[in-house]
Chain A
Amino acid sequence: GENVEQHPSTLSVQEGDSAVIKCTYSDSASNYFPWYKQELGKGPQLIIDIRSNVGEKKDQRIAVTLNKTAKHFSLHITETQPEDSAVYFCAASKGFNKFYFGSGTKLNVKP
């Protein structure tokens, strides 16, 4: 089955700096890659996603890049704010409604 690895497990940045979280996947048939943000005591919320026919997608301060050849994708957050502090999860799917999740990155944005 698919194996998704996520790094780093924790990330601390100063407010206003950029944050980058990276994920690798093993199954070249995976074609959908969502990113979720999870706040304490809450369920994950979808923040951005990308499909395999696209190399990059942006939504305001958030962007995701995908390298199909290397089988990795990354989340980029620019101009970080304290409210960006949360746990972020990547996932990969090739369909059949099965998602494989990374182990999560705890992002701490220091004011």
Chain B
Amino acid sequence: DGGITQSPKYLFRKEGQNVTLSCEQNLNHDAMYWYRQDPGQGLRLIYYSQIVNDFQKGDIAEGYSVSREKKESFPLTVTSAQKNPTAFYLCASSMGGQTHVQPQHFGDGTRLSIL
């Protein structure tokens, strides 16, 4: 079945450590996104990519980095510069290059906690 796969489901980070969250899609979507979700809040955009080898900062990019070397993959690295990384991270994708805005489809998330 087509969809978005995020791994791992749970992740723990030690002080000063960088961790990488995986996001893979087989929907043949051009655009991919990373959001952060905190309890009782909406989704906040970290980074997005509209095509391979290109990405833009979202509203809360500080302390995070991404790469987009392949169309189907958009990994997110939470660096040690992110002082409050505990959150639920969601990856999404959508068709790109269309006249009208296309819906975003989400993976099932990765829950990151600090040890």
Contact = CB atoms under 8 A, between A and B. Distances in A.
Interface string A90-104: 000111011101111
A9 interface: yes
Interface string B94-115: 1010001111111111000000
Given A42-B108, A43-B106, A97-B31, A51 B40 contact: no
Interface residues of A, number: 27
Contact of B107 (A4, A43, A89, A99): A43
Interface stretch (B43-51, B63-71, B77-85): B43-51
A97 B42 contact: no
Interface in A27-54: 31-32, 34, 36, 41-46, 49, 51
B101 A43 contact: no
Nearest to B32: A97
B33 A104 contact: no
Nearest to B104: A99
A46 B50 contact: no
Contacts of A42: 108-109
B34 to A, nearest CB: 12
Contacts of B101: 31-32, 93-95, 97
Contacts of A41: 108-109
Interface string A70-88: 0000000000000000000
Nearest to A94: B101
B105 A46 contact: yes
A103 B109 CA distance: 17
A32 B103 CA distance: 9
Nearest to B107: A43
A42 B109 CA distance: 7
B76 interface: no
B21 interface: no
Interface of B: 4, 6, 31, 33, 40-45, 48, 50, 59, 90, 92, 94, 96, 100-109
